[in-house]
Amino acid sequence: MSKLTPPNYSEYNPKNYQEKIHTPSSSREFFTEHLNPVIAEALGKNQPVTVLNIGIGPGHEFDHSEIKENPDLKVIGVDIDHVTLREHTRKRLPQSLLVAADIRHSPFDEKKEFADCGVVTNALMFNPKEVLEMLFASLKPDGKAVLNNSIFELIKPARKARQLAKGCQNFSVPINFGAEVVNFTAIDYSNYQQAEYRKLGTQIYPSTLADAKKMLTLSGFQILDCKQFEYQKNNKSAETTVFLVQKPAQ
């Protein structure tokens, strides 16, 4: 297997991040259709509510008045990039608890289930097994989470061809989830023609939709919903797969 190159988002200013990173995190429609219903349901059961965001980055998911102006919501955001957390996320979400940590080494007590709900936007493309382990361990029983992930087989052929023509490489990445293997396909940007894209590192996506569902169920989650979500990015249409999952009751 080829070497996986980690990303380096700290060198992206906000403008470059918005232009180069394909994520629905800043989409009002993503918040309205997927994230806010989960938070609203949690608020109807408990107050205050703790929302865990793994791979929070700049925190665009919570850049809405429903979040910022609700004293009953506590956002805990985890990201490996302390520069982004300090320079951008902290300014956007001054009341949140931000933790700079490598997701492969969880900073949380694995025996303490503290999150009422969760969100993972794009973070599954680097260390999916560890992200899902952290999410599952942190959620309270019956807690729900919204996750999005690109699926390699669903990426439009024109986009794949454009990536390959500009220097991307694709290769298979099998990952063990317990006793079973889930197949991923890597998109490696380390030799991309434009230098700023090389900082994206190697992104890995479930090879098929069946692989994505297998990944989630092997991680212990119940899949409640799965939808293709189209959003606008720099006046262009982009697409991702959004999952609603739940940690089973004990």
Please state, in angstroms and rounded to a whole number, the distance separating the CA atoms of residues 240 and 236: 13
pLDDT above 70 coverage of the chain, percent: 91
**pLDDT tens, residue by residue, 25-51:** 888 999 999 999 999 999 999 889 999
Cα 63 to the center of its chain, rounded Å: 16
Amino acid letter for position 177: F
Residue 182: predicted pLDDT: 97
pTM of the entire predicted model: 0.93
In a domain, 163, yes or no: no
In a domain, 77, yes or no: yes
In a domain, 112, yes or no: yes
Burial string for 16-29 (b: 16+ CB within 10 Å, else e) reads ebbeebbbbbbbee
Overall average pLDDT of the 139-162 stretch: 94
> What is the phi/psi pair of residue 203, to 5°?
-100, 140
CB 35 within 8 A of CB 61: yes
In a domain, 138, yes or no: yes
Q: What is the DSSP letter of 169?
A: E
Residue 110: predicted pLDDT: 77
Residue range of the domain that includes 57: 13-150+211-246
In which band, very low, low, confident or very high, does the pLDDT at 112 lie, cut at 50, 70 and 90? confident
Please state, in angstroms and rounded to a whole number, the distance separating the CA atoms of residues 103 and 24: 21
Rg over alpha carbons for the chain, rounded to the nearest Å, is: 17
Look up residue 7 and give its two tokens.
């990303």
> What is the phi/psi pair of residue 117, to 5°?
-155, 170
Overall average pLDDT of the 194-218 stretch: 93
Look up residue 137 and give its two tokens.
């361990």
In a domain, 103, yes or no: yes
In a domain, 189, yes or no: no
In a domain, 195, yes or no: no
Task: Find tokens 């939709």 and name the residue.
Answer: 209
Task: Find tokens 């079973």 and name the residue.
Answer: 180
Q: Is the peptide bond before 48 cis (omega within 30 degrees of 0)?
A: yes
Q: Which residues contact 184 (CB under 8 A, 6 or more apart)?
A: 128, 152, 172, 173, 174, 175, 204, 205, 206, 207, 211
Overall average pLDDT of the 52-68 stretch: 90
139-149 vs 73-79, strand pairing mode: unpaired
Residue 231: which CATH number? 3.40.50.150
| Residues, the chain | 250
In a domain, 168, yes or no: no
CB 211 within 8 A of CB 111: no
222-233 vs 139-149, strand pairing mode: unpaired
Number of domains in the chain: 1
